[in-house]
Amino acid sequence: MHAIEKLLAKRADKVSVKTGEIINCEVDMAGINDLYLQALRSFYEMGGVKVHDPSRVIMFLDHYAPASTILQAQNQKEFRAFCWDQGIDLLMDIDQGVCHQVLADKGLAYPGEIVVITDSHTTTHGAFGAFGTGVGATDLAIILATGKLWFSVPEIIKINFEGKPPHGVYAKDIILYAIGELKADFAVYKAVEFSGSTLQYLSISERMALCNMTTEMGAKTSYIQPDNITMAFLNEKVTRPYEIYETDPDFVYADEISFDVTTLTPQISAPSSVDNVYDVTKFIGTPIDQAYLGSCTGGRCDDIGIAARILKDKQVSSRTRFVIVPASKGVLLEAMEKGYVQTLLKAGATFVTPGCAACLGTHQGMLASGETCITTTNRNFPGRMGDTKAQIYLGSPAAVAAAALEGKIVDPTSYIAKENV
Amino acid sequence: MKIHIKGHAFVFGNNVDTDQIYPGRFVEYTDVEDIAKYAMYGADPTFIKEVQHGDIIVAGTNFGCGSSREHAAITLKAVGIGAIIAESFARIFYRNAINLGLPLIVCPGILKEVKKGDVISFDVSSGIITNEKGSIMSAEPFSDYVLTILENGGIKTLIKQQLLMR
């Protein structure tokens, strides 16, 4: 069996599982965010009275942090009241940040465990060897009521990245390239495991970006076998024992694909689908109205650090605005301690409260009709960050920061000092 | 089996994402009546004016990709969409719609067989999709569990029974 199958079997109280089997699994951590009031309503509608296990439920007020409308405020009021009534102590209020980063910061995504959140990018937690998957409101309400959820055991695909990424190439470039080659529906219903020699060069932050973006190839979950990099990160944070599962040597993957990253160049996903990926050189000179650095994909301290190095003692282009949204309070505090925030503010960047902000086109950095944005986020669908006639390009934090500096898309490679790689 | 599906088709392409089905700026709405006002707003703002109860959406691959927002399934059910037939569906959208009792039918090759306004019917027992203009196609069968959910009008009924039996 694969490690993913072993953990699913354990949570379904079975000895083994096979591909396509429908199983009912205990969920170790269930997260709800502030777009999903229907989850609470459906819980009561189904006859729920008390949440099955409040200690395994976490509430995130992250998409509207802080509320921009009366209705958002009203919704958040209901979420808080639900937590207080139901004894849910893990209420991550508007000061905390994006759900996936908050889980990582607090060490709440454990290897070998099932993490289900009302957010499609829950695949992020594969970076810790967890089975992370996104669901809608009704599924989450079922977990609130029963502690369990049904899953179909997925086919598992292995993607190998081989070699050291060149100077100026980041995990975002690697995963955009892979999505461009494999396309947006490549992994629908399937699990994606990342493997290969490239992983040893990727920090947890970069691995989270890889796993996060598997959602954009349709994956149900993603997985990186925990190694010394994972353990170094987790050991400082976790507070209880957990089990790491290993894949049997005779396990047969549904598919296996390898990419050599040693000659990769910075990649850009052009409007209006994530798999529309090209070398950055194709778009050099495209004028940029807004550069945006943030989200569960590209709003971590490492990402802000890259921008700070590119913009140190320089100024954001006069016709471009640079919006930065740290993924969490933890990220913001670290970026302040390292001086990145001061550097970027002096350079002309605008900082927004940690949270999801304009990544999903709700508030705090919306785009007008005809505007062009380059962003470290995960989607460039029509209307994703505002008007449907706005153009969204996805790129690495370096591509975004260099574009903010020049007011147009440039090859970021020459803007990054070699010693900083 | 009580599922009878017949209606006029609206046709969309590949990779229709949830931002097109239900744009992010409306996700703060939580009541069905409000959510129903913005169905397909990002893909075709005229859809909401034209759609009739029982109409069917036909689409290409990966319909419903993107966000986990259940609003995307809620809005299509609320405006009376009787079924969605697509070459394939994104995973979370699939779960959300089935959970609400909205039939999602997988039929590779459907897109080239249907034009807007064609009358499409689906026979659940045989899995046959018929376009009254003449073409007949075979849908992939529902899994047993999905069929059980649909026959109960959505998963909430099943969970409610389960909770009552405790």
Reported confidence tier of residue B70, pLDDT bands at 50, 70, 90:
very high
Which residues form the domain of B157? 4-164
Report the CATH number at residue B102: 3.20.19.10
Query: In a structure prediction context, what are the per-residue pLDDT tens digits for chain A, which is 421 residues long?
Result: 999 999 999 999 999 999 999 999 999 999 999 999 999 999 999 999 999 999 999 999 999 999 999 999 999 999 999 999 999 999 999 999 999 999 999 999 999 999 999 999 999 999 999 999 999 999 999 999 999 999 999 999 999 999 999 999 999 999 999 999 999 999 999 999 999 999 999 999 999 999 999 999 999 999 999 999 999 999 999 999 999 999 999 999 999 999 999 999 999 999 999 999 999 999 999 999 999 999 999 999 999 999 999 999 999 999 999 999 999 999 999 999 999 999 999 999 999 999 999 999 999 999 999 999 999 999 999 999 999 999 999 999 999 999 999 999 999 999 998 654 4
Distances (CA, A) of A178 to A174, A201, A214, A262: 6, 17, 10, 14
Indicate whether A421 belongs to any domain: no
Reported confidence tier of residue B4, pLDDT bands at 50, 70, 90:
confident
* Beta carbons of B27 and A362 less than 8 Å apart: yes
Indicate whether A162 belongs to any domain: yes
Give A287's strand partners: A408
- Tell me the residues of chain B between 31 and 70 that have a Cβ less than 8 Å away from chain A: 42-43, 61-62, 65-70
- Tell me the residues of chain B between 94 and 133 that have a Cβ less than 8 Å away from chain A: 95-96, 99-100
Q: Are A282 and A200 found together in one domain?
A: no
* A361: chain B residues, CB-CB within 8 Å: 19, 23-25
Cα dihedral B55→B58→B64→B65 (10° resolution): -170
Which residues form the domain of A32? 3-259
Helix (H, G, I), strand (E, B) or coil at A259: strand
CA pair distance A405, A415, nearest whole angstrom:
10
Report the CATH number at residue A369: 3.30.499.10
Q: What is the pLDDT of residue A419?
A: 52
Q: Are A225 and A149 found together in one domain?
A: yes
Query: Tens digits of per-residue pLDDT, B103-162?
Result: 999 999 999 999 999 999 999 888 999 999 999 999 999 999 999 999 999 999 999 999
Q: Are A125 and A31 found together in one domain?
A: yes
Q: Are A62 and A158 found together in one domain?
A: yes
**ω into residue A165 within 30 of 0, thus cis?**
no
* A184: chain B residues, CB-CB within 8 Å: 15, 62, 65
Domain boundary among A193, A225, A259: A259
Domain boundary among A224, A242, A259: A259
Sheet with B119-123, edge to edge strand ranges: B104-106, B83-86, B56-59, B4-11, B119-123, B128-131, B136-138
Strand stretches in A315-415, DSSP E? 321-325, 349-351, 372-375, 391-394
CA pair distance A359, A211, nearest whole angstrom:
18
Candidates B61, B68, B100; nearest CB to A135: B68
